[in-house]
Chains A and B, each alone.
Chain A
Amino acid sequence: MALLEVRDLVVRFRTHDGTIYAVNGITFDVEAGETLGLVGESGCGKSVTNLAIMRLLPKPAGRIERGRVTLDGVDLIALPESEIREMRGRDVAMIFQDPMTSLNPVLTIEEQMVETIVAHRAATRADARKRAVELLGMVGIPHPETRLRSYPHQFSGGMRQRVMIAMALALEPKLLIADEPTTALDVTIQAQVLELLKDLTARLGTAVILITHDLGVVAGMAERINVMYAGFIVETAPTPDLFARPSHPYTVGLLHSIPRVDAAEGGELVPIEGVPPDQRRAPVGCPFAPRCAWRVEACWADNPPLVPLEPVSRLVATGPGATHQIACHNPPLPDEARTGRPTRPGFVAAPPPGAVIDELAVATPDVEATLVEFPTTDAREERR
């Protein structure tokens, strides 16, 4: 049994404008002490997944519609509010994206750290304070004794994120969810904070779910990566495997949209066309189909399940030997993954069902021309 098991999790939001299909049945595990990267564009359901695990979805709009989440075998979704509250901070802790807004501006760092400790431990304030000093020292804040009495606005962004890390690790949780922990920081500070995070969680044996849109960040941090798109996991693999053999068109697209220093091997920048789908519509077919250059007819109607890339005798869910899985009807060939476009002779991305196909476009197969045919993004614009 893995530390965290997420099974077929479905999260939806009920808003004025209708239902938002945020997370559409995802399954994954996190092993004790393991670091899992959760990668995808904004709005792909990364953060929602983790708020759902913490049962912190915005009320009453956000609802867990289906699925199971267990931590050490305890079903988090069935847990009464008072018990899930006790687990928050103690068993699962969170660090958020913007350290500028994640700390309460009118309370001192001391108050905010001490209240976390006394909320879960039968500690006196003095003991809690001692622990807070120790923690601040641990995350590399100079003069922790005096700094404890400061207010958040008296710290720099990087220092605040260190405080957040100290607070999150105060009770040595089993799982730390870090939601874009360095996105709001300067590049030079980013590396320091990531290093600190890696170091401390390794020392404490804390499992980490690292949410990011930055493949560079996960590459150095995570042992395993889940790539998410529109509320689905589209590819999962151990980190070295994913970078060596990206196999879902979206992963290929992501890797090609970041500039790389080792661009010698034909790694030209290829942007992913279009925008993510409108999540106010129930997903039909593969969510990536409208933007995909490899799509075949089946992609429009049938959403492919997450299956092993190569036949395996036993599925491994966690650890460095985890099975490489993708959800794709027509995965790019290794050569195509390198160039970022389909190179099979005569291959044309399948037009959307029911679209009137320009004869000329069919006669002269051309990726650019077929892209013109998609009405999806436009229909979305009209409704804004």
Chain B
Amino acid sequence: MTATATPARRAAPARASRGLWRDALVRLTRNGPALLGMFFIVVFVLAAVLAPVISPYDPIAGSLANRLQAPGTAGHVLGTDLQGRDELTRILYGARISLQVGVISVLMGLAIGGTLGAIAGAFGGAVDNVIMRIVDVLLAIPGILLAIGIVAWLDRGLPQIMLAVGMTNAPIFARILRGSLLALRESDFVVAARSIGATPLRLLLRHMLPNALTSLIVAATLALATAIIDVAGLGFLGLGPPDPRTAEWGTMLTDSTKYLREAPYLIFFPGVAIVISAIGFNLLGDGLRESLDPRLRR
């Protein structure tokens, strides 16, 4: 009964959901821009992980005798900075901070926002109402301003920066997760599962979360791009790591603004590093969105 069995099998949710992920992966590997994004991300991650292996120099200590060497100078491909430190080395070590703070802040945002969104979306009603008003409040404070506020009050430090950037993303994640959970609550397959007596917890964990996860994954990937930019932004405003000598892209830019005329490369290279890693996550996020929701493809 091959022929007649086919439509029934297509409707089976288990197969559909496993198929979704596998199909998405296949589509992703065929998505040129997404692959380019992944390439940038790999470069970024390798730079962060292998910084001490690649570079023989110290990212913090330099010699003033060696300061402001132009790019291409023997031993200093990207030149040296105001303190005579190797610029390439500082960019590689800067990737460590960006990657670390970026990933952890997004995870923190996911933990806070995801929990809020899951509770709101799963319970609905009054709980939903209260949580979403809190989310509204957080969303009313424009992005980096919230982060600035948090760092200003909690004082400078990497954990504070992570929390600050995480908090800017948390309300966004909460909204996305709640939105997809609420839509799923009414969807046919959840109603069907409920009608055959699935428990609420099982409904949430087994049927709704995996399906709601797709949009959250896309949002988290895109948030990594914003997180890297925001972390650098905090650094640029002087709210970066407490030790001003730390190799952090945003801080490196602030230090160099006064030497725009003499050493524009000190702006250019960290700038390119930020842009490339942000482009990497933006391309991957867009690619994920397209492959997880083929209807979006044009």
Contact = CB atoms under 8 A, between A and B. Distances in A.
A371 interface: yes
Contact of B2 (A16, A291, A372): A372
Interface of A: 16, 273-275, 291, 368, 371-372, 374-375, 377-378, 381, 384
Given A377-B2, A377-B6, 18 more contacts: A16-B297, A273-B3, A273-B4, A274-B3, A275-B3, A275-B6, A371-B1, A371-B3, A371-B4, A372-B1, A372-B2, A372-B3, A374-B2, A374-B3, A375-B2, A377-B3, A381-B9, A384-B10
B56 interface: no
B197 interface: no
B7 interface: yes
B22 to A, nearest CB: 12
A300 to B, nearest CB: 16
Interface in B2-23: 2-4, 6-7, 9-10
Contacts of B6: 274-275, 377-378, 381
Interface residues of B, number: 9
Contact of A275 (B1, B7, B9, B297): B7
Contacts of B297: 16
Nearest to A371: B3
A274 B7 CA distance: 9
Contacts of A384: 10
Main secondary structure, interface of A, reads loop
30 contacts: A16-B297, A273-B3, A273-B4, A274-B3, A274-B4, A274-B6, A275-B3, A275-B6, A275-B7, A291-B3, A368-B1, A371-B1, A371-B2, A371-B3, A371-B4, A372-B1, A372-B2, A372-B3, A374-B2, A374-B3, A375-B2, A377-B2, A377-B3, A377-B6, A378-B2, A378-B6, A381-B6, A381-B9, A381-B10, A384-B10
Q: Considering the complex of A and B, which 4 residue pairs feature the smallest CB-CB distances, nearest first?
A: A274-B3, A377-B6, A377-B3, A273-B3
Contacts of B2: 371-372, 374-375, 377-378
B243 to A, nearest CB: 52
Interface string B286-298: 0000000000010
A195 to B, nearest CB: 35
A320 to B, nearest CB: 38
Nearest to A381: B6
Contacts of A371: 1-4
Contacts of A16: 297
Interface in B51-77: none
A374 B4 CA distance: 11
Interface in B104-134: none
Contacts of A274: 3-4, 6
Nearest to A291: B3
A379 to B, nearest CB: 11
A275 B3 CA distance: 8
A378 B5 CA distance: 10
Nearest to B1: A372
A269 to B, nearest CB: 15
B94 to A, nearest CB: 40
Nearest to A16: B297
Contacts of A275: 3, 6-7
A374 to B, nearest CB: 6
Interface string B261-298: 00000000000000000000000000000000000010
A150 B224 CA distance: 47
A377 B9 CA distance: 12
